[in-house]
Amino acid sequence: MTSILLVAERDGQGEISQSTLQAVAAAKSLSDSQVTVAIEGDAVKSGASLAVEKIVTLSPTDSGDAGIYDKATYDITSLISLINPDLVLFNKSDFGSVVGARLAFRSDYAFAADCIEISSTVTGLSVTRPVYGGSALAEFEIASTPAIVTLRAGAYETGTDTGSPIIEAFNSDGSVVGQGATTTDTVAEARDGVRLEDANFVVSGGRGLGGPEPFSLLNELADILGGAVGASRAACDAGWIDHSYQVGLTGKSVNPDVYIAVGISGASQHMSGCSSSRAIVAINKDGDSNIFKEARFGVVGDWEKVLPSFLATVRDLKA
Amino acid sequence: MTFRIVVLAKQVPDPETPPSQFKIDESTNSVFPPNGVPPVVNGFDLNAVEAALQLRDAGADVEITVLSAGSEFVMDAMKKPLAMGADRLVLIEDSSLGNIDSSGTVKILAAAIEKDGPYDLILGGRQASDWDQAHVTLGLAEVMGLPLVSLVQKLELNSDSVALQRVIPDGYQVIEAPIPVVLTVTNELGEPRYPNLRGIMQASRKKPEIFTLADLGFSSGDLAPKLELKKLYVPESNRQVELIEGEDEPDSGKQLALRLREEKLI
Ligand SMILES: Cc1cc2nc3c(=O)[nH]c(=O)nc-3n(C[C@H](O)[C@H](O)[C@H](O)COP(=O)(O)OP(=O)(O)OC[C@H]3O[C@@H](n4cnc5c(N)ncnc54)[C@H](O)[C@@H]3O)c2cc1C
């Protein structure tokens, strides 16, 4: 039997997130799995039919702990001692990356971040994770339990199974959990239109754009197609567009139907954030650049000449 | 009083190595050092060095120590933080360090920091570009029992605390943390400065201070890995690009749009 503690996250509406549903599918793929889901706050509607054995609710975190996650680290550490799982599964989100690593090292557990595959072996678990920015894959065997694993979004498809889990509240003993850092404010940019992460169409610009102005062309294209604009890290680091538009390993993950990369060389770290797109389209003046190894369609050419006519044709098609 | 900062830095293969030069030795599950491309200090660690130097620029009396654990150090690479303006370089060098995993690295770094400390601020980069785990600095905070704030893009020193901005997907959080504290720094902080000639000269005269595992009270048996690397390989890509070639570049743009429509992609 594989006993799994899966730490759930919510989406913008407070429901169980798509990434968590994918993690449930990953957990169910292990041999003879018994899954307990831990979730902060009250159990949600979509939880009642989740294909797991049990849901444990944790009391919510206050805003002073946002991004620090002292409380979640403490609560889930306590929960692990109580239920002794073989595997603790997180999403590779901000929350999962911090809480997973903190509690693993707090208790000297094995930790594997950003995995794309987990499987049962005779002696324990095997995980596969991209390394060297996605240039290589590494397969590890983890013999000690529990193994703390974070899972990359999109690595598994959400399942269709349903279940009727028992729902319980977990009351942590409430002793000192904090280490003194406090969040006093959150400054978030409200953005119109589709979220980059949810968009079915994304057009991203890179260093090849040469400056901030061309992003207005990209914006126009995204507007016509009801999509969103993204960027490479080079474009963000240059200050042409805010870092919150960055797609990639250390930026956002997108999975649109069409991902158009303009003036982007296709470094593995960039592709890590968009390789699950249905079709990648490249506009780049260098036919040897790596982006053409990843793209389904491409034009070798200068974006200044290619993009305006592309935009005009798209506008006509949509008119 | 001098404010003591330690910056964790890792030597990594240059991530800008062209993909054609990135090769894996499958018999040893390791990356072949690319021909003629020397290793570098992990980019995000240089952002952390930059963060420390900015505190000095802002008028604080700081001593900046760069600490690294590894083997086969290349001094030209490892001295870059000194050339940027850091004061000391401490290396934990041991050939067995090639075979440990991060649970061991964290224990070694913690021991070195305890021996060389106390420190007011422990900085690391947000992740290393070789194994991309983003967890050594986080783990260090836990092992040392110190507060931790990750993904810092801005920091300011107060008398007994630090004021921080932490990057989140659509903005940032404003965080106040006590000292000592462990921070990971992200590239949003700004580009690391280029060493100037004076910095390079000073760095060339400085010798790294070396700790061995024995100095830190470890034998390699204490550091058994928890994760066993079974296989390291380059994934196969079977994508085949369809290049759209019109009469000229504007025509290619037009043809591309028509082709995407034909495929019902737009
Ligand atoms: C640990 C780590 C994490 C990283 N995380 C990310 C990440 O999350 N996201 C990310 O994007 N990067 C990331 N990077 C950086 C990544 O390795 C690349 O450096 C970056 O993606 C390059 O951006 P670029 O393609 O815009 O620039 P370049 O690589 O400089 O490419 C520019 C391209 O534009 C083309 N071009 C130039 N002029 C024109 C023109 N007029 N018309 C058409 N094409 C033109 C060129 O042919 C070239 O291919 C990371 C790196 C590391 C080490």
Query: Are B257 and B263 contacting, i.e. CB atoms less than 8 angstroms apart?
Result: no
For ligand 1, is residue A206 a contact (CB within 6 Å)? Answer: yes
For residue A177 the two structure tokens come to 């959990």
Secondary structure percentages of chain A, helix, strand, coil, to 5: 30, 30, 40
SS3 A28: helix
Residue located nearest, by CA, to atom 11 of ligand 1: A232
For residue A257 the two structure tokens come to 């139907």
> Residue B66: what residue type?
V
Domain with B212 in it: what CATH number? 3.40.50.620
Q: What is the pLDDT of residue B236?
A: 87
B83 burial type by CB count under 10 A (0-12 exposed, 13-18 middle, 19+ buried): buried
Instruction: Tell whether B184 and B128 lie within a shared domain.
Output: yes
Closest chain A residue to B255, measured at CA: A310
Closest chain A residue to B24, measured at CA: A136
Residue B207, min C-alpha distance to chain A (Å): 30
Which candidate, B19, B16, B241, B257, places its Cα nearest to that of A300? B241
Rounded to whole angstroms, how far apart are CA atoms B131 and A138?
9
Instruction: Tell whether B22 and B108 lie within a shared domain.
Output: yes
How does pLDDT run across A282-317, given as a tens digit for each residue?
A: 999 999 999 999 999 999 999 999 999 999 999 999
Q: What is the pLDDT of residue A42?
A: 85
Which candidate, A156, A155, A185, places its Cα nearest to that of A64? A185
Instruction: Tell whether B177 and B246 lie within a shared domain.
Output: no
For ligand 1, is residue A251 a contact (CB within 6 Å)? Answer: yes
Closest chain A residue to B250, measured at CA: A306
Asked if B109 reaches chain A (Cβ–Cβ under 8 Å), the answer is: no
> Residue A218: what residue type?
L
For ligand 1, is residue A286 a contact (CB within 6 Å)? Answer: yes
SS3 A116: coil
Give me the DSSP letters along A174-220: ------S-EEEEEEE----SS-GGG-SEEEEE-GGG-SSTTHHHHHH
Rounded to whole angstroms, how far apart are CA atoms B119 and B117?
5
Q: What is the pLDDT of residue A176?
A: 59
Which candidate, A257, A264, A146, places its Cα nearest to that of A207? A264
Q: What share of chain A in percent tops pLDDT 90? A: 88
In a domain, B101, yes or no: yes
In a domain, B146, yes or no: yes
Residue B41, min C-alpha distance to chain A (Å): 14
Rounded to whole angstroms, how far apart are CA atoms A52 and B36?
53
What residues of chain A lie within 8 A of the CB of B252, using their CB?
299, 301, 306
Rounded to whole angstroms, how far apart are CA atoms A248 and A268?
9
Domains in chain B, number = 2
Instruction: Tell whether B88 and B187 lie within a shared domain.
Output: yes
SS3 of B126-173: CCCCCCCCCCHHHHHHHHHCCCEEEEEEEEEECCCEEEEEEEECCEEE
Which candidate, A121, A156, A138, A245, places its Cα nearest to that of A194? A245
Report cis status (omega within 30 of 0) of the bond before A214: no
Q: Which runs of consecutive H residues, i.e. helices, occur in chain A?
A: 18-28, 70-83, 94-106, 215-224, 233-237, 268-271, 291-294, 303-318
> Residue B160: what residue type?
D
SS3 B98: helix
Q: What is the mean pLDDT of residues A188-204?
A: 90
Please tell me the CATH superfamily of domain A196-318, with its number. Answer: TPP-binding domain (3.40.50.1220)
For residue B249 the two structure tokens come to 């570049």
Q: What is the pLDDT of residue A39?
A: 95
Most informative mutation of A152, A203, A213, A264 for ligand 1 (most atoms within 8 A of CB): A264
Rounded to whole angstroms, how far apart are CA atoms B213 and B38?
26
Instruction: Tell whether B159 and B254 lie within a shared domain.
Output: no
Q: What is the mean pLDDT of residues A22-28?
A: 97
Task: Give the nearest partner residue to A102 out of B22, B148, B177, using CB atoms.
Answer: B148
B61 burial type by CB count under 10 A (0-12 exposed, 13-18 middle, 19+ buried): exposed
Asked if A101 reaches chain B (Cβ–Cβ under 8 Å), the answer is: yes
Query: Are A189 and A283 contacting, i.e. CB atoms less than 8 angstroms apart?
Result: no
Query: Are B88 and B207 contacting, i.e. CB atoms less than 8 angstroms apart?
Result: no
Q: How many helices (H) and strands (E) does chain A have?
A: 8, 16
How does pLDDT run across A85-139, given as a tens digit for each residue?
A: 999 999 999 999 999 999 999 999 999 999 999 999 988 899 999 999 999 999 9
Which candidate, B210, B190, B200, B157, places its Cα nearest to that of B49? B190
Instruction: Tell whether B173 and B204 lie within a shared domain.
Output: yes
- B239 contacts A67? CB cut-off 8 A: no
In a domain, B157, yes or no: yes
Domain at A2-169, CATH from 3.90.1150.110, 1.10.10.10, 3.60.15.10, 3.40.50.620 = 3.40.50.620
Instruction: Tell whether B256 and B161 lie within a shared domain.
Output: no
Asked if A121 reaches chain B (Cβ–Cβ under 8 Å), the answer is: no
Asked if A315 reaches chain B (Cβ–Cβ under 8 Å), the answer is: no
In a domain, B233, yes or no: no
Q: Can you name the residues that pair with A229 across neighbouring β-strands?
A: A203
Question: Pairing state of beta strands B11-12 and B40-41?
Answer: antiparallel
Where along chain A do the CATH 3.40.50.620 domains lie? 2-169
For ligand 1, is residue A263 a contact (CB within 6 Å)? Answer: yes
Q: What is the pLDDT of residue B220?
A: 67
Where along chain A do the CATH 3.40.50.1220 domains lie? 196-318
Low-confidence residues in chain B, pLDDT < 50: none
Query: Are B61 and B3 contacting, i.e. CB atoms less than 8 angstroms apart?
Result: yes
Report cis status (omega within 30 of 0) of the bond before B235: no
Q: What is the mean pLDDT of residues A10-23?
A: 93
SS3 A104: helix
Question: Pairing state of beta strands B227-233 and B11-12?
Answer: unpaired
Rounded to whole angstroms, how far apart are CA atoms A286 and A263?
9
Residue located nearest, by CA, to atom 37 of ligand 1: A208
The alpha carbon of A208 and the centre of ligand 1 are apart by a number of angstroms equal to 8
A108 burial type by CB count under 10 A (0-12 exposed, 13-18 middle, 19+ buried): middle
Question: Pairing state of beta strands A125-131 and A117-120?
Answer: antiparallel
Burial A182-211 (b: 16+ CB within 10 A, else e): bbeebeeeeeeebebbebbbbbbbbbbbee
How does pLDDT run across A225-271, given as a tens digit for each residue?
A: 999 999 999 999 999 999 999 999 999 999 999 999 999 999 999 99
How does pLDDT run across A94-105, given as a tens digit for each residue?
A: 999 999 999 999
For residue B166 the two structure tokens come to 């932490």
The alpha carbon of A66 and the centre of ligand 1 are apart by a number of angstroms equal to 32
For residue B55 the two structure tokens come to 């505190």
Q: Is the pLDDT of residue A19 over 90?
A: yes
Residue A317, Cα to own-chain centre: how many angstroms?
33
Q: What is the pLDDT of residue A44?
A: 80
Rounded to whole angstroms, how far apart are CA atoms B76 and B166?
32
The alpha carbon of A216 and the centre of ligand 1 are apart by a number of angstroms equal to 19
In a domain, B228, yes or no: no
pLDDT-based confidence at residue A177 (cuts at 50, 70, 90): low
How does pLDDT run across A33-66, given as a tens digit for each residue?
A: 999 999 998 878 778 899 999 999 999 888 999 9
Question: B15 lies in which domain range?
Answer: 3-223
